[in-house]
């Protein structure tokens, strides 16, 4: 259940950025002839033209949706370009998208504390940068403010008035604004600058929300898409939340949101204002009650984590209909492939980023043939992660056997598996100065540590100096060593991620000079500038589509084959022993769509409403003239 975190005394400026139709943009960059064209990325499949996983805004105008198959999309939009996702080991290979996301993260992280939230999303804490701007060059002091910033959507301002940009400019430059709003105005300018920079350097457009906390920034970042940003002044928070359906709120998408609706008659976040904190605590306990009370008022103390790398790695595949796996050897053969990829990715994370994953988890979905209750959940299982492909494969198979036993008992019966995935989580940084991961893991003060590492697979560790050999990779939740358990927690806390000295310090701010606008950029014919780059060691390499390693992020994995007829609410009752609040969205994103949908039903609100057309810069970007 959600827990309220103490709010900081000082006002903050937080941004949430999300790339527009991300996989499509990556494909458009690879093949500029696709720019301005109705395009969708499809996951390889020979059934009905494959499943769509990303849809361009041009195609959306024809009614093409992510839930469609390729053939369906062609029916509603005959001119659509369908691009196949790269395939490796008979499954989607998302490295090209992961690496493209890393390019964007590297640019965004130059302005403040940066948290990579998914393959195409980032939170930024721009408080320091905004304060610096306010001191040195506040928007009202400049003769002209950064042009792209004047295209912002400000929740307080009507969007359909005549000279909208003049109004926005006036809002950004108000001399009589309170301190919070002045900081937000600086935040809007900073984010506009960053978005232009991202476009110039990567060719990608993104949308953003700018607010005083993560919750509000995320809620509005998808409100005006594509290539736009939305600002939430504190004065607009109550009105905004008043009509916001509770299910749209982070953490209210699942059971808690349903209970609010069904048990308390709360339909919108504003409706929560009718309940005292005590009343909400009575219903949902002290922590959640307080969290609800604060949420209703737009308060959220959640901090932006200093994390540019994924919290977890995962690989999955679905086997719908006749493709379902029905015997141990086919399960083993697929698990071997998934584990091979997982192993490559954690090895790469280890050598590039000096990070170790500790928990291996297997998720599967099964149906029992000839039974009414054919969708009984296959329990997720986890165990300590041992490095080395063979060991991971061996352990994954054991996890499968254990899950199958729980699922079906000891009777021999016909079963079929419709999806499989493996994830590596509880990743921590190895403190610099530690030479032996093995020793580090097995140190006396780290008896909670569970990873069993093959030291031969960790050749590139820094020599040990000093006595931080046993610096603790603290575990709040402890796994039983060498045992299989039902999955209960995929998260790793922020403190665990900050073991490396100095990691939390925001980077020096670099000033963006002059004025600029995405519109302007787009009107010039700019050559592609997406050469592979190395960003201060954050990313070791940007591999091409054929590569299978890299500092990758766990992300929206999408469908591998099909299953569009999944009941979104089906995840509410459960044999899965998951602590919903602790589920790492990155892990979820890596899983096959069936499982993703089930879990996302509990942990995150559905997508924002259809974007409004606002005649903004994106139209130029995707227009045929741009090609
Ligand atoms: P999203 O950010 O959800 O969507 P999007 O970027 O395609 O479009 P929008 O402009 O609305 O943000 O997902 C990011 C990428 O993740 C998306 O391009 C493809 C991939 N993805 C899947 O593979 N399967 C999924 O079910 C979802 C939601 C996303
Ligand atoms: Ca996106
Ligand atoms: Ca996204």
Q: What is the mean pLDDT of each run of 10 residues along the chain (627 residues)?
A: 78 97 98 97 80 96 94 96 92 92 96 94 97 91 80 86 86 92 96 96 98 96 96 94 90 91 94 95 94 94 91 90 90 96 94 94 82 70 96 97 85 82 94 56 36 34 26 27 41 27 34 45 39 29 28 34 27 32 47 52 40 35 41
Indicate if 46 and 186 belong to the same structural domain: no
Does residue 321 share a domain with residue 288? no
Contact 233, 186 (CB under 8 A): no
Phi, psi of 617 (to 5 degrees): -60, -25
Looking at residue 449, what is its pLDDT? 34
CA distances from 443 to 45, 437, 447, 474 (A): 48, 10, 7, 12
Separation CA 145–CA 170 (nearest Å): 10
pLDDT of residue 373: 53
Q: Count the domains in the chain.
A: 3
Cβ atoms within 10 Å of 424's Cβ, excluding its own: 29
Cβ(556) to ligand 1 under 6 A?
A: yes
Q: Looking at the structure, tell me whether residues 146 and 165 fall in a common domain.
A: yes
493/426 Cα distance (integer angstroms): 9
CATH label of the domain that carries residue 355: 3.30.1490.100
Task: Report DSSP state, residue 325.
Answer: B
- Across the beta sheet with 51-55, the strand order is 51-55, 39-43, 81-84
Domain that holds residue 34: 23-87
565 burial (CB, 10 Å; 0-12 / 13-18 / 19+) is exposed
- Domain finish residue from 268, 297, 326: 297
Judge whether 65 lies within some domain.
yes
* Residue 68 forms part of a structural domain: yes
Do 261 and 240 have their domain in common?
yes
Q: What is the CA angle 301-306-311, rounded to 5?
A: 100
Q: Is residue 373 part of a domain?
A: yes
Residues 83 and 196 both lie in one domain: no
How far does the centroid of ligand 2 lie from the alpha carbon of residue 27, in Å? 14
Helix (H) / strand (E) element for 356: namely strand 355-368
Which mutation among 556, 601, 611 tests ligand 1's pocket best, with the greatest number of atoms within 8 A of CB?
556
Q: Are 101 and 43 within one domain?
A: no
**CA nearest neighbour of 314 among 473, 479, 490:** 490
- CATH number for 64: 3.40.1170.60
Q: What values do phi and psi take at 318, rounded to 5? A: -110, 155
Verify that 231 and 361 share a domain, yes or no: no
270 Cα to the center of ligand 3, angstroms? 26
Q: CB under 8 Å to 290, separation ≥6 — which residues?
A: 4, 277, 280, 281
Task: State how far the Cα of 206 lies from the Cα of 226, in Å rounded to an integer.
Answer: 7
How far is C-alpha 340 from the geometric centre of its chain's CA atoms? 23
Active site residue 487: no
Residue whose pair of structure tokens reads 């590492």 in the numeric block: 453
Of 435, 459, 487, the one marking the end of a domain is 435
Residues contacting 275, CB < 8 A, separation 6+: 264, 266, 292, 293
In a domain? residue 9: no
Ligand nearest to the CA of 20: 1
Q: Which of 17, 23, 59, 93 to mutate to test the pocket of ligand 1 (most atoms within 8 A of CB)?
A: 23
Of 133, 134, 142, 207, which is closest to residue 169 (Cα–Cα)?
Answer: 142
The domain boundary, picked from 413, 435, 457, lies at: 435
Its sign, for the CA torsion 177, 183, 186, 192, is negative
Distance CA 327, CA 319 (A): 13
Closest CA to 339 of 391, 400, 417, 416: 391
- Cβ atoms of residues 199 and 521 within 8 Å: yes
**Ordered alpha helix ranges (H), 77-117:** 95-108
Find the ligand nearest to 227 CA.
1
What's the distance, Cα to Cα, between the start and end of the chain in Å?
49
Q: Is there a domain that residue 355 lies in?
A: yes
Buried b (16+ CB within 10 A) or exposed e, 525-543: eeeeeeeeeebeebbbbbb
pLDDT given for residue 179 in this prediction: 94
Q: Are residues 280 and 317 in the same domain?
A: no
The single-letter DSSP state of residue 140 is G
Atom of ligand 1 nearest to the CA of 20: 10
Burial class of residue 436 in the structure, from the number of CB atoms within 10 Å of its CB (0-12 exposed, 13-18 middle, 19+ buried)? middle
**Angle subtended at Cα 495 by Cα 127 and Cα 379, rounded to the nearest 5 degrees:** 115
Distance CA 51, CA 70 (A): 6
- Ligand 1 site, residue 226, Cβ cutoff 6 A: yes
Using a 6 Å cutoff on CB, does residue 558 contact ligand 1?
yes
Residue 191 Cα to ligand 2 midpoint, Å, equals: 16
Return the pLDDT at 424.
97
Residue with tokens 């395939």: 87
Instruction: Give the per-residue pLDDT at 1.
Output: 74
Ligand 1 contact, 122 CB (< 6 A) = no
CATH code assigned at 187: 3.30.70.270
Q: Among 140, 195, 144, 220, which residue's Cα sits nearest to residue 519?
A: 195
Q: Could you tell me if 498 and 504 are in contact, meaning their C-beta atoms sit under 8 angstroms apart?
A: yes
Residues 123 and 211 in one domain: yes
Smallest CA-to-CA distance from 89 within 335, 352, 386, 420 is with 335
Q: How is residue 559 annotated by DSSP?
A: -
In-domain check, residue 41: yes
Q: Are strands 51-55 and 81-84 parallel, antiparallel or unpaired?
A: unpaired
Give the Å distance between the CA of 153 and the centre of ligand 3: 20
Of 57, 60, 59, 40, give the one whose Cα is nearest residue 49. Answer: 40
Indicate whether 446 belongs to any domain: no
Query: Ligand 1: does its nearest atom lie under 6 Å from the Cβ of 59?
Result: no
Supply 216's token pair: 């509000």
pLDDT value at residue 334: 96
Domain membership of residue 326 (yes or no) is yes
Which of 27, 58, 103, 121 is the catalytic position? Answer: 121
- Bridge partners of 123? 16, 115
Domain match, 158 and 195 both? yes
Nearest ligand to the CA of 558 is 1
What is the separation of C-alpha 554 from the centre of its chain, rounded to a whole number of angstroms?
8
CA 247 to chain centre: 19
Q: Which two tokens stand for residue 10?
A: 């000082």
Residue 567: how many CA atoms within 13 Å on its side-chain side?
A: 6
Give yes or no for a contact between 416 and 348, defined as CB atoms under 8 angstroms apart.
no
Q: What is the pLDDT of residue 439?
A: 46
Dist. CA 257–CA 246, nearest whole Å: 6
Instruction: Please provide the DSSP assignment of 108-121 as one string.
Output: HTTSSEEEEEETTE
Tally Cβ neighbours within 10 Å of residue 614: 17
Angle at 205 between CA 555 and CA 540, to 5 degrees: 50
What is the Cα–Cα distance from 12 to 151, expressed in whole angstroms? Answer: 22
Q: Are 122 and 198 in contact (CB under 8 A)?
A: no
206 with 231, same domain: the answer is yes
In the block, which residue shows the tokens 């000096």? 354
Structure tokens at 512: 């963006």
Q: Are residues 327 and 407 in the same domain?
A: yes
Q: How far is the CA of 551 from the centre of ligand 2 (A)?
A: 20
The verdict on the CB of residue 207 being under 6 Å from ligand 1 is no
Backbone angles phi, psi at 445, to 5 degrees: -85, 0
């Amino acid at each position: 259940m959600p827990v309220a975190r103490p709010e900081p005394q000082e006002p903050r400026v937080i941004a949430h950025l999300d790339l527009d139709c991300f996989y499509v943009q990556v494909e458009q960059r690879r093949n500029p002839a696709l720019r301005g064209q109705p395009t969708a990325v499809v996951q390889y499949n020979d059934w009905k033209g494959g499943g769509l996983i990303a849809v361009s805004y041009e195609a959306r105008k024809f009614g093409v949706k992510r839930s469609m198959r390729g053939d369906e999309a062609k029916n509603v939009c005959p001119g659509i370009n369908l691009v196949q996702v790269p395939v490796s080991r008979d499954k989607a290979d998302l490295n090209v998208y992961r690496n493209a996301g890393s390019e964007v993260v590297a640019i965004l992280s130059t302005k403040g504390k940066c948290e990579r939230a998914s393959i195409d999303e980032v939170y930024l804490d721009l408080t320091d940068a905004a304060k610096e701007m306010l001191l040195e060059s506040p928007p009202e002091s400049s003769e002209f403010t950064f042009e792209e910033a004047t295209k912002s959507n400000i929740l307080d301002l009507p969007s359909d008035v005549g000279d909208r940009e003049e109004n926005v400019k006036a809002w950004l430059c108000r001399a009589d604004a309170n301190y919070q709003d002045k900081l937000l105005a600086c935040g809007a300018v900073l984010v506009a600058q960053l978005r232009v920079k991202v476009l110039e350097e990567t060719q990608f457009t993104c949308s953003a929300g700018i607010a005083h906390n993560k919750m509000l920034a995320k809620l509005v970042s998808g409100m005006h898409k594509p290539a736009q940003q939305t600002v939430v002044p504190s004065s607009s928070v109550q009105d905004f939340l008043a009509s916001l359906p509770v299910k749209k709120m982070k953490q209210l998408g699942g059971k808690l949101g349903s209970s609010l609706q069904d048990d308390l008659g709360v339909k919108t976040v504003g409706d929560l204002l009718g309940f005292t904190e005590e009343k909400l605590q009575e219903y949902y306990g002290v922590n959640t009650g307080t969290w609800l009370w604060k949420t209703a008022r737009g308060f959220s103390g959640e901090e932006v984590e200093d994390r540019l790398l994924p919290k977890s790695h995962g690989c999955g595949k679905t086997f719908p209909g006749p493709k379902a796996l029905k015997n141990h050897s086919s399960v083993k053969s697929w698990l071997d492939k998934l584990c091979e990829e997982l192993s490559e990715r954690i090895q790469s994370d280890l050598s590039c980023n000096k990070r170790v994953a500790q928990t291996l988890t297997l998720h599967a979905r099964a149906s029992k043939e000839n039974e009414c209750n054919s969708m009984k959940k296959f329990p997720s299982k986890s165990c300590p992660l041992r490095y080395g492909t063979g060991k991971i494969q061996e352990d994954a198979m054991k996890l499968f056997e254990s899950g199958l036993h729980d699922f079906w008992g000891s009777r021999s019966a016909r079963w079929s598996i419709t999806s499989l995935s493996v994830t590596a989580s509880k990743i921590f940084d190895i403190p610099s100065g530690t030479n032996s991961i093995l020793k580090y893991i097995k140190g006396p003060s780290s008896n909670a540590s569970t990873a069993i590492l093959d030291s031969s697979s960790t050749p590139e560790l820094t020599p040990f100096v000093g006595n931080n050999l046993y610096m603790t990779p603290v575990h709040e939740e402890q796994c039983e060593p060498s045992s299989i358990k039902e999955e209960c927690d995929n998260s790793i806390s922020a403190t665990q991620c900050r073991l490396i000295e100095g990691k939390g310090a925001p980077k020096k701010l670099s000033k963006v000079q002059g004025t600029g606008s995405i519109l302007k950029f787009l009107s010039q014919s700019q050559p592609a500038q997406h050469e592979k780059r190395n960003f201060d060691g954050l990313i070791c390499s940007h591999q091409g589509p054929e590569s299978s390693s890299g500092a990758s992020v766990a992300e929206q994995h999408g469908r591998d084959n099909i299953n569009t007829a999944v009941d979104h609410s089906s995840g509410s009752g459960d044999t899965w022993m998951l602590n919903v609040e602790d589920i790492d969205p990155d892990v979820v994103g890596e899983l096959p769509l069936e499982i993703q949908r089930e879990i996302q039903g509990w942990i995150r609100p559905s997508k924002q409403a259809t974007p409004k057309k606002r005649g903004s810069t994106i139209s130029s970007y995707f227009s045929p003239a741009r090609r």
